Amino acid sequence: MSVSDTQFIGAWRRVLELSKLQPGQTVTVLTSASTHPQTLRCAIAASSALGAVVNRLDLQPVNGEKALSRDSLAYLGTTPLTGNKAAIAALKASDLVLDLMTLLFSPEQHEILASGAKILLAVEPPEVLCRMVPTEDDRARVLQATNLISRSKVMTVTSKAGTELRCELGEFPAIAEYGFVDEPGRWDHWPSGFALTWPNEGGTEGRIVLDRGDILLPMKCYISDPIEIVIRDGYARSITGGFHADLLAEYMASFEDAEAYAMSHVGWGLQPRAHWSTLAQYDREATIGMDARAFEGNFLFSLGPNNEAGGTRTTTCHIDIPMRRCTVSLDGQSVVVDGQVQDAAGTAYARKRKEFL
């Protein structure tokens, strides 16, 4: 169901206020051929109403002939900013960049953030954005989780399906994604709501068993039969199972890059307004699957690059896999048990869900 411009402008205004946008500051709206027109006009309207100086920078798409899908995360090669000094200069001169095209995993993004500019990514459908307008409570909860990660040396993940994974931590920072950018040089994604980090290079061992209903991204599909992924020295060494294992293995092999199989980020979802079932309601090209990445109590892991965390590993392949019903522990302390987050909000959420499931 669509949302009105009035409602959507109000949602944008709230996010911009949380992002501390001030009158007279410069907002640059970054767009491409795939930018949602309602998102664009409402972002401009809300920014203008708050007194910002608003510019639009429209860039041509790249990598379409190389990617195996139209999803913006299906191929992480060069971006429209690669070698585009004029565009980079404009973004670095901005106080806030509203990314409506998906600028990720690129040195240009790091350069822009290092200048002090803030970047907020927002590419999900308008109704998804309105459903998951971030709050101060979201921020506090995610920061509490990232503080736990920052103090920990080992993350373990188990499940009744057979997952037994051990990730050594400490080499890379903990990242909080709560949906707005309230500090200079901060990047975030609206909608979101999860805590994550990257394991130490070569420091992940064990096996991951994906169960029925776990999700493959960017394929945007729920698996129907188990997949077993064996991890040794920080790399996926085998991917076995039925049809969906073949699908995942062939897709990854198409990149012809050993770094595609490296463990990337690990963490868990903390967004109660995101839903595991939402992906089934949308055409695959309408969403990048943020409900799947952020739903309450998931274990989200990734295969591929770590340059977003300051690492040196890059690859054009990036796989995100949200899992249900996992137990996640930090230095032996459980933070998620069978898919239930072990904090006050998680207990309340689980109690409410039991009334209806």
Mean pLDDT across 6-12: 98
> 187 and 216: one domain?
yes
- pTM here? 0.95
What pLDDT was estimated at residue 93?
98
User: Does the pLDDT at position 55 exceed 80?
Assistant: yes
What's the chain's average pLDDT?
A: 95
CA 318, CA 304: separation in Å to the nearest integer? 5
Which stretches of 82-226 are assigned E, i.e. beta strand?
96-99, 118-121, 154-159, 164-168, 175-177, 187-189, 194-197, 204-210, 215-216, 221-222
Q: Which residue has the higher pLDDT, 315 or 239?
A: 239
Query: What distance in Å separates the CA atoms of residue 9 and residue 206, rounded to the nearest whole number?
Result: 47
Residues 216 and 121 in one domain: no
Could you tell me the residue range of the domain that residue 320 belongs to? Answer: 134-354
Q: Say how far apart CA 354 and CA 333 lie, in whole Å.
A: 24
Q: How confident is the model at residue 174 (pLDDT cuts 50, 70, 90)?
A: very high
pLDDT band at 261 (very low <50, low <70, confident <90, very high): very high
DSSP 43-87: HHHHHHHTT-EEEEEE-----TTT-SSS-TTS--S--TTTT-HHH
73, 103, 130: which is the final residue of a domain? 130
Least confident of 30-34, 116-120, 193-197, 305-309: 305-309
> What proportion of the chain, given as a percentage, has pLDDT over 90?
84
Same domain membership, residue 160 and residue 255: yes
Position 85 scores a pLDDT of 95
pLDDT the model gives residue 63: 75
Please compute, for residue 136, the number of CA atoms within 13 A of its CA located in the half-sphere on the CB side: 3
Residues 56, 139 within the same domain: no
Task: Please tell me the least confidently modeled range out of 3-7, 102-106, 247-251.
Answer: 102-106
Domain count of the chain?
Answer: 2
Report strand pairing: 187-189 vs 118-121. Answer: parallel
Domain boundary among 130, 164, 195: 130
Q: In the prediction, which pLDDT does 61 show?
A: 80
CATH number of the domain encompassing residue 17: 3.40.50.2300
